[in-house]
Structure 1
């Protein structure tokens, strides 16, 4: 039996529409979460949505919506009142009487708001909830950052594994990372995410022997696991520092070269443009976070001096803080680039918000000072009327499709023209004793003419001012 015949596991999306979030934004957030979950390998069968003033402290949703969610997963829809391994009998009895789960807030207090329970809906996905009766959802994906206790309560009520938005993104990064640097960064983020969500096993209170000669209470199994995670994170950070020093050395070797960085929201088409501009075989896939590693290739057909193009990992809203480290290479490439090309998917109705996310992140690191151009990609999916509207709204933007060779050729010429504007004419004297530098000159400048005399060669060149200073310093040594 082939893998194409195997059924994908099912998932349910959960979203709470908070004050200040309109219907369009809420729907867009849930649609994006659905794509993330699909990228993770699950089919979404339904969406449970609710309007609330805040997330329910105990289990995110109100009582009514929680039971509605449980019908899709086969759970009880009720958060068990006790956590035996964490409570003594007296506290368990008090918790049972009040409906409270220790440390998780009062289920009755937060969920008793009838107005909150009535708002929202459960929107079935392909086939609807009825079709999923035989196959229950095994994953509940929540479009918010939730606490470990909220996740634990949701798992008790639904009988399914619960991942918040951060957990979904981290798992995708973990599966898609390829380079050593990306794997290290993502593993650190994953361990930081997992550590506070560890819980005692059924054995509960067993402790390892502690102290010299076995004296002292020692560590519980949970404390031991958390210490192991801290030690592992420290080890990974040490290894990552070594890898990043190597990356810094490579970037230093590219100083003075003409560099273009493609930046933008995930799945905006950066990798497709990278492949079209450079002829490289970078991964192109219609899914979120298909690219997690920065790739650098020369513009093709090559020009002299070379223009390097960087394909970077995409941005996304509500990115987990621990994963910002995974953007280190991307952010460095953006800061050190000569030109930033902001790529946006013009066929996505929310691309304006996505563009704002990209600009906001790059502005925070000071990359807003780097010269930039706006590329509205995937216009082949738009009507001529829609294209005209975009031209009026974004007169400075370039409308193109990475699938149309003429559009790519025009973009290539505009990139070359940008660098031509900043080039100056100069003359370099290359002594015969330093003929070994001829390759360096051709690599960093366009040689217009050469004349050789008694002292050496006189080369007329067109070159970027920074590269000219570097070449003159090499010739003066």
Structure 2
């Protein structure tokens, strides 16, 4: 019986369990990599894992594991001669001279160190001979580490498959999911910074000499020319991004003094679901990593006066590429300029404590750790009552909820309103008749308790946040 469904291309995960990383953390990292790869559209059929003191200098894995990986991809499992493997060769020579065991490339137990991870329902990571049961070969190898261009090239030669390290996988997801002009520019800059140092390894082709005036004399090699083009393109993108960010800064300045809440947290923690529930907006909700890359700002619904704005920000992840952290700094400014941060964590994920630490660490880097915050443990509908009780004891300050439960969302809405109510103060504003055009601005940024009019104008008793009140007074004094 034939199927009309298009088969997903296959991928294999590769992970090295380094010293200091326990089994639970290692398994969680590989499971997360599997979800990232699945988000890219691949089906994970196996995981090849190995305990090592460090990544193998030549091709990440030792020789035995490399051959096991190649069985899944149809490759030779051998790094061709001429590959940069000097350190490993020297170590192997010393081991041979000392009469030590003939375990290749410093491997620690090839057969004993397999990780049995079947994240996407495919073939489990093979042990001895298990790889031969796979009918289709994998076309992509995803490595759960940042690897050098030479390591990636050697892995590709040995496996015959495309190799992506963790940073490359994340950048590719960002590249596919960016929607706004700002996000697209930021991701493209990060992608070009990632590609530039790897161009030599991707086969730049033969040198093409470009002479000076008249075509004489030495010129640029093909690689040098391509890298210069990338540098020029990055400079052009940064100039364009600067203009977009200035426009965004202007928009944020117009919202200055307004009551703002930012949802922050690990990717797929349920921020967009909460955003939709709190604001009634049709934001994208999907059970995949990095479904949201663009900051969305909507008013709390049903609306209150003055309005409370809620923003949904890009999710965080462990080992986020440095260029993406730098690129998305402007996106994270929404968190820095918010009046209240809501840390959203997926309580049903056993690793949510580590994820929460990653979120807090990144926000601390941009100086947002001083912003008032609340912890939301989301998706508790997936937990039994005894686990919820344990969370209440461990996190007494947290709010346990489910974005799918209307009562929980309503209680969160009231908690947000109460937070802002506590910081509001009462004052009286004099509105001259000549500035009646500002009445809408006052109603937008303050709650008007009463109005009285005399010969000088209107006297309005209002309740507002101190920053908004100061802004209104400056507008009336002009």
Deviations 1:196-215 (A, max 9, x none): 11137879543232222222
Q: Tell me by how many angstroms 1:275 deviates.
A: 0.3
Distance 1:332 1:11, change over 3 A: same
- State how far apart, in whole Å, the 2-side matches of 1:346 and 1:279 are: 24
TM-score, length basis structure 2: 0.90
- Asked if structure 2 preserves the Cα contact closer than 8 Å seen for 1:272 and 1:402, the reply is yes
The Cα shift of 1:139 comes to 0.3
Q: Any conservation in 2 of the 1:61–1:111 contact (CA below 8 Å)? A: no
Kindly state the Cα deviation for residue 111 of structure 1 after the two structures are TM-superposed: 16
- Preserved contact between residue 56 and residue 111 of structure 1 (Cα < 8 Å): no
- Secondary structure of residue in 2 paired with 1:406: helix
CA distance 1:124–1:448, change in 2 (3 Å): farther
1: distance between equivalents of 2:219 and 2:110?
A: 39
Deviation of 1:365 (Å): 1.6
Which secondary structure state, in structure 1, belongs to the residue aligned with residue 104 of structure 2? coil
Separation of aligned partners in 2, 1:440 and 1:190? 43
Once the two structures are superposed, residues 414-436 of structure 1 have per-residue CA deviations (whole angstroms, 9 ceiling, x without a partner) of: 00000000011111111111111
Residues 293-351 of structure 1 deviation map (CA, whole Å, 9 limit, x = unaligned): 00000000000000000000000000001111342233201110000000000000000
Matches of 1:360 and 1:141, distance apart in 2: 26
Q: Point out the more displaced range, 422-431 or 272-281.
A: 422-431
User: Do the aligned residues in 1 keep the contact of 2:47 with 2:118 (CA within 8 Å)?
Assistant: no
Q: Are 1:294 and 1:329, in contact at CA under 8 Å, matched by a contact in 2?
A: no
Aligned residues of 1:200 and 1:222 also touching (Cα < 8 A): no
Q: 1:50 to 1:108 in 2, by over 3 A?
A: closer
- Judging changes above 3 Å, is the alpha-carbon distance between structure 1 residues 399 and 125 closer, same or farther for their aligned structure 2 residues? farther
Alpha-carbon distance between aligned partners in 2 of 1:29 and 1:344, rounded to the nearest angstrom:
17
Q: Which residue of structure 2 aligns with residue 125 of structure 1?
A: 127
Equivalent in the alignment of 2:84? 84
Contact 1:50 1:120 survives alignment (8 Å): no
Q: Decide whether aligned partners of structure 1 residues 123 and 152 sit closer, same or farther in structure 2, where only a CA change above 3 A counts.
A: same
Structure 1 residues 90, 463: CA separation in 2 closer, same or farther (over 3 Å shift)? closer
> What is the CA-CA distance between 1:472 and the residue it aligns to?
1.2
Q: Distance in 1 between matches of 2:245 and 2:341?
A: 22
The alpha carbon displacement at 1:267 in A equals 0.3
Contact 1:177 1:183 in 2 (8 A): yes
Matches of 2:232 and 2:220, distance apart in 1: 15
Partners of 1:40 and 1:102 lie apart in 2 by 36
8 Å CA contact 2:379–2:402 kept in 1: the answer is yes
Q: 1:149–1:85: structure 2 CA closer, same or farther, 3 Å change rule?
A: closer
Aligned counterparts of 2:98 and 2:223: Cα–Cα separation in 1 = 29
Residues 232/26 of structure 1: CA separation in 2 closer, same or farther (3 Å cut):
same
1:9 is displaced (CA, Å) by 0.2
Deviation at 1:455, TM superposition (A): 1.4
Distance, in Å, in 2 between the alignment partners of 1:432 and 1:345 is 53
Deviates more, 1:462-471 or 1:91-100: 91-100
Q: Which runs of 5+ in 2 are unaligned?
A: none
Change (3 A) 1:213 1:264: same
Pairwise CA distance, 1:182: 0.5
Contact 2:295 2:314 in 1 (8 A): yes
Q: Distance in 1 between matches of 2:121 and 2:443?
A: 65
Taking a change above 3 Å as real, the CA distance of residues 205 and 95 of structure 1, as seen in their structure-2 partners, is farther
1:52 and 1:116 in contact (8 A); partners too:
no
Of stretches 211-220 and 312-321 in structure 1, the one that deviates more from structure 2 is 211-220
* Counterpart residue number, 2:230: 229
Q: SS at 2:117's partner residue?
A: helix
Q: Relative to structure 2, which stretch is displaced further, 322-331 or 288-297?
A: 322-331
Cα deviation code 1:58-114 (max 9, x no counterpart):
000000000000000000000000379999999999999999999999999999999
Could you tell me how far apart the structure 2 residues matched to 1:31 and 1:114 are?
Answer: 11
> SS of 2:214's equivalent?
helix
Distance 1:94 1:366, change over 3 A: closer
Q: Is the 8 A contact 2:44 2:119 kept in 1?
A: no
Distance 1:47 1:83, change over 3 A: closer
Q: Is the 8 A contact 1:145 1:164 kept in 2?
A: yes
What is the count of residue pairs matched by the alignment?
476
Q: 1:440 to 1:24 in 2, by over 3 A?
A: same
Name whichever of 317-326 and 281-290 sits farther off. 317-326
Distance in 2 (alpha carbons) for counterparts of 1:187 and 1:470: 38
Does the Cα contact within 8 Å between 1:173 and 1:289 map onto a contact in 2? Answer: yes
Aligned-residue CA RMSD (Å): 5.2
CA deviation after TM superposition for structure 1 residue 170, in Å: 0.3
CA contact (8 A) 1:342 1:374 kept: yes
Query: Which range moves more in the overlay, 89-98 or 9-18?
Result: 89-98
Q: 1:109 to 1:139 in 2, by over 3 A?
A: closer
TM-score (ref. length: structure 1):
0.90
Q: Cα distance, 1:51 vs. partner?
A: 0.2
Aligned-pair distance for 1:218? 1.0
